[in-house]
Structure 1
Amino acid sequence: MKLRPALALAATLLLAPNFAQAGETLDRVLSTKVLNNVVVDDYPPFTFIDKDNKLAGFDIDVAQAVADKLGVKAVNSVPGWEVITAGRWAGRWDICICSITPTTDRATVLDFIVQYYSSPAVLVVHKDETSIHSIADISGKRVGVGTGSSYEAYLDKTIQIPGEKAIAFPFENPVKVPSDETVNFQNLALGAGVRLDAIVANIATAKGHIDAGAPLKVVGQPLFGEPNWIAVDKGDAEWNAKIVEIIEGLRADGTLKAISEKWLGTDITRNDV
């Protein structure tokens, strides 16, 4: 999928109110020597709790790389997805390197400043499933989605991604089951139709579970392109510009590619695909 430039998204963001003061965030980070990042902890391989009970994954490594460029310490918090996407952080956190997809609603309370990877949403079923071959087959089926995620909005047919083509919804009345995404995958692995019939998720997350031995499979075509951007609280242009500069530098010097290949076995961070 061709990654769009930020112009269309920026036009949307300019319509929303400003909350922060210019330079406030950068001044705070450089003064405290801490970059406070928000993440979720149930989204492997992007963020998860490892065997040592520590946060790990693609997003954690990207946050560390950004902190290194700033000369500060990265501290990752897990306040909850609904809290993250509500915006108005009031200085509690500085940045969301947390695999967030920009939507029209989210852009009213957050600034989406730079895309750092793209990976499509897909439909996942149990390996023994025989009646679901594509998204058109989920009508009346129990479909797991992460609570408050773009996948939940997709089943609600409300998702709008600025700068992306219109999304098709070739299904009617699925039984939406919002939950922790890790729990969704565990429930689907119990068997076809036992607790869930399918899951809508990111292809990289699905592949991670499948490669780890989960008895699942991806069916049909990708559902929609899912560009993931770094988000911040609204209104601090100086902070936004600094983060864009750092991310593009990490892309140019191969750091983002190396992190992606470490966690996903391929480069999903290119800005020309």
Structure 2
Amino acid sequence: MKNLYKTLVVGMVAALVLAACGGGGASQADNLLDAVKQRGYIMVSTDPNYEPQSFLNTEGKRPADTKCPSDALTTAEMQGFDVDVAKAIGEGLGVETCFATPDWDVITAGNWADKWDVSVGSMTITTARQQVLDFSVPYYYTPAVIAVRADSGIASIADLEGQALCVGTSTTYEFWLNHDMDGLGLPASSIYAEAPNVTVVPLPTDQECAQAIMSGREDFVGYVTSQTVVNANIAAGFPVVQLGSPVYSEDLAAAFDKSSTLPNDTLREEINKIITAMHNDGRLSALSIQWLGEDLTQSPK
């Protein structure tokens, strides 16, 4: 009887240890896709100040039943093209989409310390970024352009020689302006113009360049960003005009951290399937027209 009692006690202790270690429930995920599905949400990094791609929805109300952590934003609190693409990715995975909003240079540097699972933030695929990040198939393509103050009198790229232009830090626009073709990492066929010799004024995001001009800042005459952003700025009444034609074009994709603790290949493969399906069924085209005013989802190559 005493031996039976000891056996029962040992069995109960072992069961408690297994339960505490997760042995009595779902097994611990060994890849990022399974981890996302187990927790019930995907953490997406994006820019909260990049209209019309991604920006805050000031009228949105956080759902009471959200699974998103308290320091993350929900799809109700964000809006834009990238936001809707990220939301569709979450729906395709069967999980909620949540948003982290770190600085852009932190995202492009890699080594995310597992703080978010994927970046859906109009990131250009470059050879430099491919050293630290993995990429999905592109979900859209966008031309880069120069915008200048409407009263600047500048009519061509040649007129910019010796002037100052603003760019977002660690963007392809900064690489192009600095004549860093290795950092830009684009094929020659995607580059249409040589950058002028200017003083480069970096700000955390290129949209802040436009906002600085709107507020009256005069230490630069313009900025480099995507054509969609310039179109949105002009539509919003910013005192700028597009200068000439696009200077290069970009392939934009979701990005994954190569240094993720869990392998990202299964998540990347699943997101590739979702993006490809959205290309094929027209959802990406519809979102592009809705937010960007034109279909930029067709490869220019």
- Which of the numbers 146, 153, 159 marks the counterpart of 1:123? 146
- 2:120 touches 2:255 (CA, 8 Å); kept in 1? yes
Quick check: 1:200 aligned with 2:224? yes
Match in the other structure for 2:168: 146
Instruction: Give the AA of the match of 1:113.
Output: S
Alpha-carbon displacement from aligned partner over 1:178-221 (angstroms, at most 9, x marks no partner): 11333311232356x83321111110000001011112110122
Structure label with greater radius of gyration: 2
Moved more, 154-163 or 255-264: 154-163
Instruction: Give the AA of the match of 2:119.
Output: C
- Which of the numbers 126, 138, 159 marks the counterpart of 1:137? 159
Quick check: 1:59 aligned with 2:87? no
Alpha-carbon displacement from aligned partner over 1:28-87 (angstroms, at most 9, x marks no partner): 111111111000112110011233373211111100011011110000101211211111
- 1:160 touches 1:166 (CA, 8 Å); kept in 2? no
The higher-RCO structure (CA 8 Å, 6+ apart) is 1
Give the percent of matched residue pairs that are identical in Structure 1 and Structure 2.
Answer: 35
Shift of 1:88: 2.1
Shift of 1:227: 1.5
Match in the other structure for 1:27: 34
Quick check: 1:76 aligned with 2:76? no
Match in the other structure for 1:109: 132
Shift of 1:164: 5.4
- 1:36 touches 1:94 (CA, 8 Å); kept in 2? yes
| C-alpha distance in 1 between matches for 2:108 and 2:300 | 28
Match in the other structure for 2:25: none
**Normalised TM-score (structure 1):** 0.84
| C-alpha distance in 2 between matches for 1:23 and 1:63 | 23
| C-alpha distance in 2 between matches for 1:212 and 1:120 | 20
After TM superposition, list the pairs within 5 Å mapping 1:1-273 onto structure 2: 24-52=31-59, 54-130=77-153, 132-158=154-180, 159-163=183-187, 165=189, 167=191, 168-172=193-197, 174-179=198-203, 180-189=205-214, 194-234=218-258, 236-271=264-299
Instruction: Give the AA of the match of 2:92.
Output: K
| C-alpha distance in 1 between matches for 2:186 and 2:134 | 12
Match in the other structure for 1:18: none
- 1:126 touches 1:189 (CA, 8 Å); kept in 2? no
Shift of 1:90: 3.4
**Normalised TM-score (structure 2):** 0.77
| C-alpha distance in 1 between matches for 2:284 and 2:190 | 29
- 1:136 touches 1:170 (CA, 8 Å); kept in 2? no
Shift of 1:115: 0.4
| C-alpha distance in 2 between matches for 1:36 and 1:135 | 40
SS of 1:120 mapped into structure 2: strand
- 2:118 touches 2:254 (CA, 8 Å); kept in 1? yes
Instruction: Give the AA of the match of 1:157.
Output: H
Shift of 1:24: 0.9
Shift of 1:135: 2.5
Count residues in correspondence. 249
Q: Which runs of 5+ in 2 are unaligned?
A: 1-28, 61-76
What root-mean-square deviation, in Å, do the aligned CA atoms of Structure 1 and Structure 2 show?
A: 2.1
| C-alpha distance in 1 between matches for 2:90 and 2:247 | 34
